[in-house]
Amino acid sequence: MGRPGNSREVLIAEALGDFAKLFDRLDSVAPTLEKTCVKLELTASKLQGSIEPFQARIVATANQNQDLAVKWFVEQVNLAGKKTLDEQIRAMQESARKIFNDEVVPPLNRVTSELRQAKLREKSREGWVTHAAVAITAACCTSMLTSHPAPEKVAEPQPIASAPTPNCVTESAARPEKARVRK
């Protein structure tokens, strides 16, 4: 080859020289690349063997976290359920009180006041009823005493020593007793 005639040819010649150096370097790196590939394959096979225990640990950790999450979720649901139940009980009690106060208390108060008034009327009548009963009883007794004649007394047998004569009647026995009339 001759001398280069222009700058373009010079650049090409230099590039070809650089390529020759690059190829030489690549040839020197090739054994190192082969050693590195062998080491990578060996490392990959070791990793493949340790992946199964790693997977088992990850699965166990995931299951444990899942159990904790489920337990927390159940506790929160139970807490919310109890809170809701307490709120419903309070609301139902409040409604029952309101309904009782609105629907039962007014009629109950009316009945109570009517019973009080009736009892007061009954107490005021009680004295009159007692007096009326006494008056009726007295009238009945008077009527019975005046309407029936007094029975004749039969002489009682007396002891022989002081026996009166049978025709002898005392003054008190001849006069009937009169009942007192109440004024």
- Left if phi > 0, otherwise alpha if psi is -120 to 50, otherwise beta: which for 163? beta
pLDDT of residue 60: 95
In the predicted model, what is the mean pLDDT of the chain? 79
User: Cα separation of 15 and 13, whole Å?
Assistant: 5
List pLDDT tens digits, range 11-70.
777 777 777 888 888 788 888 888 999 999 888 888 777 788 888 899 999 999 999 999
Return the closest-CA partner of residue 25 out of 37, 17, 13, 35: 17
Q: Which amino acid is at 144?
A: M
CA distance 153 to 168: 12
Q: pLDDT by residue (tens digit) across 139-182?
A: 888 877 777 665 566 566 666 655 555 554 454 444 455 555 55
Judge contact between 23 and 16, C-beta under 8 A.
no
Cα(18)–Cα(26) distance, rounded to whole angstroms?
12
Q: What is the pLDDT of residue 117?
A: 86
**What CA–CA distances, in Å, run from 154 to 100, 172, 173?**
78, 14, 10
What was the pLDDT predicted at 67?
A: 96
Residue 116 to residues 89, 104, 126, Cα–Cα distance (Å) = 37, 18, 15
Position 172 scores a pLDDT of 47
Condensed to tens digits (0 to 9), the pLDDT of residues 91-113 reads 999 999 999 899 888 888 888 89
Nearest to 39 by CA among 50, 31, 27, 51: 31
8 A C-beta contact, residue 141 and residue 148: no
